[in-house]
Structure 1
């Protein structure tokens, strides 16, 4: 069976450093940090008092009062980003075959704020189970793609992938395969997360996963730096329109990139810690290259998972060196989490977008906040430190890993329209 070619025809983003694609890209290349003191709740008793929140976006203007009551923030984020991507794609919603358009979305946690508030209200009451009738529909992780499809009438495959921080990368790979195999013409894919809550911050603090650099939050996310002390929690959404190449070509769509392949693997090692030798990460990159029909030397840039944790950053770079050999020293390697923080289930989507835009603009965003070299990291690797670098990027790789040992990797190629 001959596989269909799959391209990206639309992008949308709602991130801690920009509320649309243009703002997001401008902030990335200028090295803007999205980390700041938390405004959503009182952090006096919390170990970490900062995060990468969405800023300067009035959801009351975007949604009606009834919608606001019925949608958790993670679903609101999904609708905002997907609306931008759909509009950007130029798809005619009146004429497209909606049975051939699906929504495959990623969320690592889903409606955490809704769950938190409903349980708190119950615990503070007299034991009578008075729950909001929207409690379950607001909370469940699959409600984001459900709402996207309901809004636009898309009647193709519709579901959520849940693989912790790899969720939206897995969604993208599933979307790729549905179109490759001829089951759909268009898939709205991506991911969203809204875990900057008391439960989210408290839970990750209890795991000692978060940075506690409260005196300097803008510089807290510092992948590959010797003094990194954990990740910075982020929130938001990224959306991509994946489309069968001939379908896109027939309607004269602009094409950002071709999706060449995706790989998956498991560390099979520990609930939260990566394998110290990066064996699962080696496997996922090799699987992705094989799926795309590429050799390691074909890749120009890698947007790493790069969360700014002591173990994870070293393990990933070890794996890159093992897979790419001497070619690893010619790659541009970066971590955009240094600016956005870690968006958990939405990370793969916004980082895939960053990789695609790096190809479009021949400019690799920096890894900011690097001050001190880590003796455990090969000094010859180009980690794109502190300043964006001009480079012709024809093939870009995006890595995303999640608690539970879930690994996902996606490869994109620049394509002439």
Structure 2
């Protein structure tokens, strides 16, 4: 009698981050496990911002990390993205990992791209000798898909190239888009993730738009990129699955105070669709919104999954938050035999309306 082998869904098989804990994955893992926040005091001489501290990628410089060629007009958010993608594509010997060719797709989450680049370019058009005396080399930085486009050019990724903007849920929306690319046959291998920079422009925008419950939140920055591929492709190239993507749900809250209700509905739907009981959730990573506590208490009841801390340690990385949450779950399960097969739930709430959640099965 022929026995059918169970086919696993799309797998996350590799990840890379550039975070406030450092420039490599091990620094991120060690930082999370230490439980110490990465916030540092800001130099008021360098930063004219309304905050005293932030979680910065210390010492990051486009020129020092990426080299002189092609970085003269590159802004910080693009540099962070290019660096994170590059680290994902390199093996321990510095060679490109197998199975990720030029046909691979890239889906990158962002907020507005670089608010600093947009504001600087607009200001130059008004204060220079004549309105049109601006640096044309810096115009590409004002376009929202600059980071994704430059990352693809830099690393020779000629498959579908997509930029997703959805606030803190951008990483989950990027994962959703990556799943659609695979399902539709437009790409077999997809890099997905998100990026955010700290800048004076972003700091002031946050200062004027955040709610009272966010007043004590420290801003952070960084980039997180993950590799999504099928079980067959991963096995062919010698990569073990880190997590299987079981399901993902997103929603929109239209009225203030409805965030918890909308998120609870999303979590119920994704658990029902994936056949996961609430008491089977083993790991939980949230974006830190108050509404998440209410929604999860409603859905999970008395069950308390193991919490995976992230935003409390690396700050509010906004567009990159959900991508960092996924990476943090992978860190939490790293090297633990008891993590194999456990379910992880990642949730996100953005004040501008988007909520989302994803269910992973750790490999």
Confirm or deny a common fold (TM above 0.5): yes
TM-score by length of 1: 0.78
* SS of the residue 1:412 aligns to: strand
1:266-313 CA deviation, whole Å, 9 max, x = no partner? 11214xxx536x11111222233244332222211111110xxxxx32
In structure 2, the residue matched to 1:204 is 206
1:102 maps onto 2:85 in alignment = no
Distance 2:45 2:227 in 1: 35
1:333 maps onto 2:307 in alignment = yes
In structure 1, the residue matched to 2:239 is 253
Q: CA deviation at 1:162?
A: 0.5
- After TM superposition, the structure 1 = structure 2 runs for residues 162-241 of structure 1, keeping only pairs within 5 Å, are 162-194=165-197, 196-209=198-211, 229-241=215-227
**Is the 2:310–2:324 contact (alpha carbons within 8 Å) kept by the matching residues of 1?**
no
In structure 2, the residue matched to 1:112 is 115
Distance 1:153 1:66 in 2: 16
1:35 maps onto 2:50 in alignment = no
The partner residue of 1:243 within 219, 229, 243 is 229
Distance 1:186 1:113 in 2: 32
Distance 1:103 1:87 in 2: 16
Distance 2:209 2:263 in 1: 22
**Is the 1:302–1:333 contact (alpha carbons within 8 Å) kept by the matching residues of 2?**
yes
How many residue pairs were aligned?
357
| TM-aligned CA distance change 1:51 to 1:95, over 3 Å | closer
Distance 1:96 1:54 in 2: 27
The partner residue of 1:324 within 286, 291, 300 is 300
Structure 1: which 5+ runs fail to align?
A: 212-227, 307-311, 364-389
Distance 1:263 1:49 in 2: 36
**Is the 2:196–2:320 contact (alpha carbons within 8 Å) kept by the matching residues of 1?**
yes
**Is the 1:72–1:139 contact (alpha carbons within 8 Å) kept by the matching residues of 2?**
no
Distance 2:153 2:275 in 1: 37
* SS of the residue 2:176 aligns to: helix
1:347 maps onto 2:295 in alignment = no
Distance 1:26 1:320 in 2: 28
| TM-aligned CA distance change 1:9 to 1:204, over 3 Å | same
1:65 maps onto 2:68 in alignment = yes
The partner residue of 2:258 within 275, 288, 300 is 275
**Is the 1:210–1:232 contact (alpha carbons within 8 Å) kept by the matching residues of 2?**
no
**Is the 1:191–1:346 contact (alpha carbons within 8 Å) kept by the matching residues of 2?**
yes
**Is the 1:11–1:88 contact (alpha carbons within 8 Å) kept by the matching residues of 2?**
no
Distance 2:74 2:7 in 1: 38
Q: CA deviation at 1:346?
A: 0.7
In structure 2, the residue matched to 1:10 is 14
In structure 1, the residue matched to 2:281 is 299
Distance 1:82 1:407 in 2: 26
Structure 2: which 5+ runs fail to align?
A: 1-5
**Is the 1:236–1:346 contact (alpha carbons within 8 Å) kept by the matching residues of 2?**
yes
Q: CA deviation at 1:147?
A: 1.8
* SS of the residue 1:156 aligns to: coil
Distance 1:261 1:254 in 2: 20
- After TM superposition, the structure 1 = structure 2 runs for residues 389-400 of structure 1, keeping only pairs within 5 Å, are 394-400=342-348
Distance 2:8 2:184 in 1: 7
